[in-house]
Amino acid sequence: MLIRDNPRYPAALVRRLHPGTTLEHYRVVTFDIDPAKRLLIGRFLTLEAADHAVRYPLPTTHVPAALNRYGAYEQRPP
């Protein structure tokens, strides 16, 4: 599990596949209690790359309304 801003709610799940072989990689999906709602973020060769692929939520408390006119900085679930 990768944790970001909320220590009680994971941002993503990482799974190591085919360890010790040439096919070894890390599969990253968004977290949701319901497994059917999880979305694939990607597959990565290193754990570091997998970690960097999971974004932090954008803060909305200090964004001027003029910059947020299209809702680009709204808080949305991953």
Instruction: State pLDDT tens for residues 3-53.
Output: 887 778 888 999 999 999 999 999 999 999 999 999 999 999 999 999 999
Provide the pLDDT for residue 51. 93
Residue 62's pLDDT band (boundaries 50, 70, 90)? low
0.85 exceeded by pTM = no
| Torsion sign over Cα 72, 4, 39, 16 | positive
Instruction: Kindly list the strands in the beta sheet with 25-30, ordered across the sheet, starting from the edge strand earlier in the chain.
Output: 12-17, 25-30, 40-44
Greater confidence, 23 or 65?
Answer: 23
Nearest to residue 17, comparing CAs of 40, 39, 38, 43?
A: 43
Residue 2's pLDDT band (boundaries 50, 70, 90)? confident
